Amino acid sequence: MTAKPDYVLRTFIRCSQDALWSALTDADAAANYHPYTPDAVRDGDAIVYKLPDGSDMLICRETARTPKTRIEAEFAPQWAPDIPVSRFVWIIAPEGPHCALTLEHYDIPEGGGGYADGWERLVAGLKTWLETGEPTRIGGHGA
């Protein structure tokens, strides 16, 4: 496990801390902004993102939570089961009418260069959805 993240993304979203926390922890919310999957389900401490055919695409198992401010989770890609599990952290910091949202991804495996693109699409869709109320799926690959 590395002490320094392999990838960091930070943005500011005009929304309440409660709205951002809910968007990141409520599996039903993912359909409004996730770039690659229209469906996710909560399975205990994990959010399981589903492909259109119903198969698992990604499992994000929460390993630690500080309500409304921090989520630590495992990132287990199911689209390529031979890719090792890595971990990521969401950090929420309210700033007036905005929240600063920071994503840190650790232990990105060799060949994980596409992770940054996926995170950037996800966070852009999340920001747009929270600020406008319009579901936004900024997906590649014809999505």
Which pLDDT score, from 0 to 100, does residue 12 have? 98
Residue ranges of the chain with per-residue pLDDT less than 50: 142-143
Helix (H) or strand (E) holding 115, with range, is: helix 114-132
CA distance 37 to 82: 21
Which domains does the chain possess? 7-132 (3.30.530.20)
CA distance 121 to 4: 23
Q: Which residues of 2-11 are buried (b: 16+ CB within 10 A; e: fewer)?
A: eeebbbebee
